[in-house]
Structure 1
């Protein structure tokens, strides 16, 4: 399996920082999310991130479908995306590798 190095580096740095922050915090991830949603300005950012996460899940589904992978393959990436937003798509890019699937030429 060929791993993509740039997404792997970003994924490792992001998850390392995430776990370091979570280890030092005094509140749960759910409590933190509830606190963010309690104010309109931070709720807007959270909603924006989850719209982006949904779009990333659509992209992962379409890409995996082109590569002949089923929905079962994507479930772990969707769960990771639901919890940490960018971690799911980053890990998908790491494991996807750099090759594009063979496709038909574009029709005009």
Structure 2
């Protein structure tokens, strides 16, 4: 459980902040994404984040495969990662650490 605490704390704080921002946003998430991609400087940051998200998905896949999990197990994590880049991998780490077969080892 000790190894899960940093990831769980980060996940809770980031999700709370994300929820706060989304409830107080003046535009939709899609409009915000379009605005970010319309400028080269912010588009570069978005592209960089999605490269990182792709690498995180590869890591989650390989880790789950080594633990005998199927791709179906990973689909919710991949979907969350596609929308909220860091939330998917954080949730995976927390879930993995709390599961009996993961027990926080190799985290």
Q: Give the TM-score normalised by the residue count of structure 1.
A: 0.89
Runs of 4+ in 1 over 4 A off after TM superposition: none
Q: Match of 2:59?
A: 59
Unaligned runs of 5+ in 1: 101-108
Residue 31 of structure 2 corresponds to residue 31 of structure 1: yes
Q: Distance in 1 between matches of 2:47 and 2:6?
A: 27
Q: Distance in 2 between matches of 1:6 and 1:52?
A: 20
Q: Equivalences for 1:65-76 in 2 at 5 Å? A: 65-76=65-76
Question: What SS does the corresponding residue of 2:105 show, helix, strand or coil?
Answer: coil
Q: Distance in 2 between matches of 1:11 and 1:5?
A: 10
Instruction: After TM superposition, give the deviation of residue 94 of structure 1 in Å.
Output: 0.3
Q: Match of 1:99?
A: 105
Give 1 or 2 for the bigger CA radius of gyration.
1
1:42-88 Cα deviation digits (max 9, x unpaired): 00000000000000000000000001100000000000000000000
Q: Distance in 2 between matches of 1:77 and 1:39?
A: 29
Aligned residues: 100
Residue 10 of structure 2 corresponds to residue 10 of structure 1: yes
Q: Give the TM-score normalised by the residue count of structure 2.
A: 0.90
Q: Distance in 2 between matches of 1:52 and 1:61?
A: 14
Please give the root-mean-square deviation of Cα atoms over the aligned residues, in Å.
1.4
